Amino acid sequence: MELARGANTIIDGTSLKVAVSGSAPGTVDLMVFQLDDRSKVRGDADFIFFNQPVSPEGAVRLEAGGVIEIDTTRLPADIHQLSVAVALDSAASGTLSAVRDMGVVVEQAGSTAIVAPALGLTTERAAVLVEIYRRGASWKLRNVSAGWDSGLADLVTAFGVSVDEEPQTRPAGSDESPDGIRSVPDEAKLSMVKREKLDLRKREVAKVLLTKGGNGIRARVILVIDKTGSMAKQYRTRVVHRVVERMVPVAIQLDDDGKLEPYLYAVSFVKLPEISVHDAEAWSDTYLHLRGSHGGVNYDKIGAVNREVPIMTEIVSGLTRGSAPTLVLFFTDGGFSERKEITKLMREASGLPAFWQFVGIGKANYGVLEKLDDLDGRVVDNAGFFALDDIDTVDDAQLYTRLLSEFPDWHKAAVAAGITTP
């Protein structure tokens, strides 16, 4: 059965599989709005998109490949309509009318599939493709194919999703909301969907720090990433790119300017330009490489095997006892064979204002890193370590809890010892 624009039909059954052709994460984003009798969301949790892929009660679930699973029996009584929508990313040019074969196929268990092609779109950059709505005891489907020329912001506003434009009017530097979540002006340059994703991650970071008594700490954030040959798969599959993206909210919450100071290392190291929230994706594409010359950097000269002492010594040389704290986020897939030199360096560094959080990515032998918690002879415990076989399987709440739980405890001890500032 095919629905023309504006046409509707009754839905048979309660379990639906809605497949949206033409959606492509990062270019054409797919989303669902759960709406009440006013055609508004009850709250932002009713906005279902890639970083919030399940509705509060589990009735609506975004799956990979542009598929939405819907169980109408689980929808709350005050939800009267589901609007399935798409929007072009702010960085994408053109309009939705240029997207080939855009449309919706609704599969009903034991019944005929319903096809609702996107028809009549012209200058829209965001559009509702179909509505699934209550009619008495039944549910119906309508082909809407209509939207907004200005894109995502007007779409989400129309359905009552809160849009925080505050970062555009904040002065240089960062500011903090009443709930302790900090923002920087560059966030205003992100698309609405990317800002929603960032806001959720910032909230998780703030929650960990608040729980541990670390909310309010201001710290320089350094990011160190292993670029040895054994990391090839992590670079090829863009795991390292996603690591950078997930570390940006940490810098926003802790650093005065919200920027990450990045290094890549192997035998030697290179300090790269700072990472700002609005250009993190472009930064990763420019600078995350294992070999060749990119962005003015000869990656072959850095080497292809591990030697941690030079990069660690470089960071230590920039620390001064009694100055503001530094958080070093050190991502590696192992090595650390210079056990004697590294343990000596970490003992000496324990009197300086930096906490070293080492993170193992991939299955590897991490050597001395696994013994850091038991390392004696330090003024304060200045390091933590945990390993993740696959960082992509760990959600943001778990990742930030493991990443940041020890840092506030170190800060308290370091302040008490006169190592760093409150």
Could you read off the pLDDT of 212-226 as tens digits, one per residue? 989 889 999 999 999
Give the model's confidence band at 27: pLDDT under 50 very low, under 70 low, under 90 confident, else very high: confident
Give the model's confidence band at 414: pLDDT under 50 very low, under 70 low, under 90 confident, else very high: very high
Q: Which stretch of DSSP H or E encloses residue 41?
A: none
Q: Tens of pLDDT along 299-329?
A: 999 998 889 999 999 999 999 999 999 999 9
CA–CA separation, 87 vs 255, rounded Å? 32
CB 16 within 8 A of CB 108: yes
Q: Tens of pLDDT along 91-131?
A: 778 999 999 999 999 999 878 899 999 999 999 999 999 99
Helix axis angle for 239-254 and 192-211, nearest 10°, is: 60
CA–CA separation, 213 vs 406, rounded Å? 11
pLDDT for 177: 63
Q: Is the overall model pTM greater than 0.75, yes or no?
A: no
Give 274: exposed, middle or buried? Use CB within 10 Å, 0-12, 13-18, 19+: middle
Stronger pLDDT, 394 or 172, i.e. the higher one = 394
Q: Tens of pLDDT along 230-244?
A: 899 999 999 999 999
Tell me how many degrees the CA angle 348-349-355 measures, rounded to the nearest 5. Answer: 155
- What are the angstrom distances between the C-alpha of 236 and each of 134, 206, 396? 46, 31, 22
pLDDT for 172: 40
pLDDT for 328: 98
